[in-house]
A and B are shown apart, each in its own frame.
Chain A
């Protein structure tokens, strides 16, 4: 609202209250960001594609790995709209079925990292002192390595598989959420409603569960939305080096791994999975930007 706050002293709504207050207006603001809307639509299409994959392609078994050696490396045509791969399998089918692990790793990783990191951060921020120090030192150790490196290390140690890849990336990623949650918790615990709950005699952990975490949810979710794209990228990176989904089951990353060898003869084989990764990651980023712009009070003040 652009109207100046003509208020008696101390009557300003807290930042937390104001944010919640405008949740209905947020959707209206979001609708105006066309880039974010388009991204949302594209993501929905991909997700729908992943869910309904076996029914969307005439070649489901090729998608799952059955070779079709007679049609090796054929360029895009009417029967194979995106061409075929090195073993003659329809690339579109491979991409559709490969979208399942590729996309889902993004969601799973982010969810797991959120579930591990957020409570830890909330506890560290709320209690402060030695507990905070302990948790943050451990977090800092993790943060001192590049996430991909950690993920690769964990994954190699655990053995190559989709599940292990997902676990590894989550283990590399949770510290970011801890840091975010801790920062929010530190500012939240100064709020009067937290003091009010203490005055009532609510035990600390209950305060964290009932008051701190629900009020953290918004910034954490924004971060999570933006992270899904990066998680998908990282998942693809792991598969690319062979640490994720194993062939012949499809995954965009492992497809790229093979496709690069055939780039001269069949560039479509590398191009389409690569493009899919690019498009999805970009859409999640734009979506996250849109969500953050909507939630950030500054940018909504303009009329």
Chain B
């Protein structure tokens, strides 16, 4: 947990849409350390998925990174040519997505898909690749790997498909795994399996995980550190225990109060008045300002990143 593997500084991204320019990311600051599990949490439209995609420079059509920096092992990724990024993707940084059906090609068998990825990044004989593919399927705990190699994605259940995605992601020894809502579409018992698998894989392979999710409970259980996103900015970040149990930023607190939990029975869930900004207007001050119960005049200017202590930061004037 020493040197940061990935450092994102002041990342800004815009989308051109029919309705106008949407400011999706407004100055994202993140650090992902080696072998760390960083949670990226927020609600719809906060920019968490786009952040994950940006690290791999897989910005969707219509989007453009307008400024900022993304350092991977000290190298600036934003001015590298596409050929360089193609090497990075898969071999150094890998990604798995929410819907494994959409990210696995229905026309190819599992074996073909794993092997294609490996052949792209490694020079090895067919036999060696085949052996490694079988090994990977075992690592992700799929039953009967030789049979699975020959199956097509649609023959597998959601949980199994996600395991295959994991196998592909880990096939080339990536240092960072970006997981974009990997268990959201799965049943809760299957989710427990996959999260457990992720935990063990991290320990065994030493891969860092960027866990993108809307589910605070998943963050509580899986992650070591967490960054809370709102309207394209990181509003609070730090160790999970600090952020979730000693939350400083009003939005984080509100989100926690709105999340039902065992102990909330009998009390009411606090709703957050107002709505999330659409991103069409650039916001000068604190993005949560209009909805914040502790709003002050100074909040109309963009709040700085304040250190609550060595590891816990908040973008709020209250903690200046």
Give chain A's interface residues, CB within 8 Å of chain B. Answer: 1-4, 6-9, 11, 22, 25, 28-29, 301-303
Contact = CB atoms under 8 A, between A and B. Distances in A.
Contact of B15 (A2, A9, A11, A29): A2
A4 B44 contact: no
Contacts of A301: 61
A4 B185 contact: no
Contact of B17 (A3, A29, A302): A3
B94 interface: no
A9 B97 CA distance: 13
Given A11-B44, A28-B18, A4 B184 contact: no
Given A3-B15, A8-B44, A303 B62 contact: yes
The 8 A-B pairs of least Cβ separation, nearest first, read A2-B62, A6-B49, A303-B62, A25-B18, A1-B17, A2-B61, A3-B15, A4-B60
A1 B19 contact: yes
A4 B50 contact: yes
Given A3-B15, A8-B184, 18 more contacts: A1-B15, A1-B62, A2-B16, A2-B63, A3-B24, A3-B50, A3-B60, A3-B63, A4-B49, A4-B50, A4-B60, A6-B44, A8-B214, A9-B184, A25-B18, A29-B18, A301-B61, A302-B61
Contacts of A303: 16-17, 61-62
Nearest to A6: B49
B62 A3 contact: yes
Interface string B17-49: 111001010000000000000000000111111
B53 interface: yes
Contacts of B22: 3
B18 A1 contact: yes
A6 B181 CA distance: 10
Nearest to B48: A6
B79 to A, nearest CB: 23
Given A1-B19, A28-B18, A302-B61, A6 B45 contact: yes
A28 B18 CA distance: 9
A9 B22 CA distance: 23
Contacts of B62: 1-3, 303
Contacts of A7: 44
Interface string B177-203: 000000011000000000000000000
Report which residue of A3, A7, A8, A303 has the largest number of chain B beta carbons within 10 angstroms of its beta carbon.
A3
Nearest to A28: B18
Contacts of A22: 18
Contacts of B50: 3-4, 6
Contacts of B185: 9
8 contacts: A3-B24, A4-B49, A4-B50, A7-B44, A8-B184, A22-B18, A25-B18, A301-B61
A8 B42 CA distance: 11
A179 B144 CA distance: 48
Nearest to B22: A3
Nearest to A303: B62
A29 B17 CA distance: 12
A298 to B, nearest CB: 13
Nearest to A22: B18
Contacts of A8: 44, 184, 214
A2 B62 CA distance: 6
A266 to B, nearest CB: 53
Interface string B274-306: 000000000000000000000000000000000
Contacts of B214: 8
B45 A2 contact: no
A7 to B, nearest CB: 5
A25 B15 CA distance: 16
Contacts of B24: 3
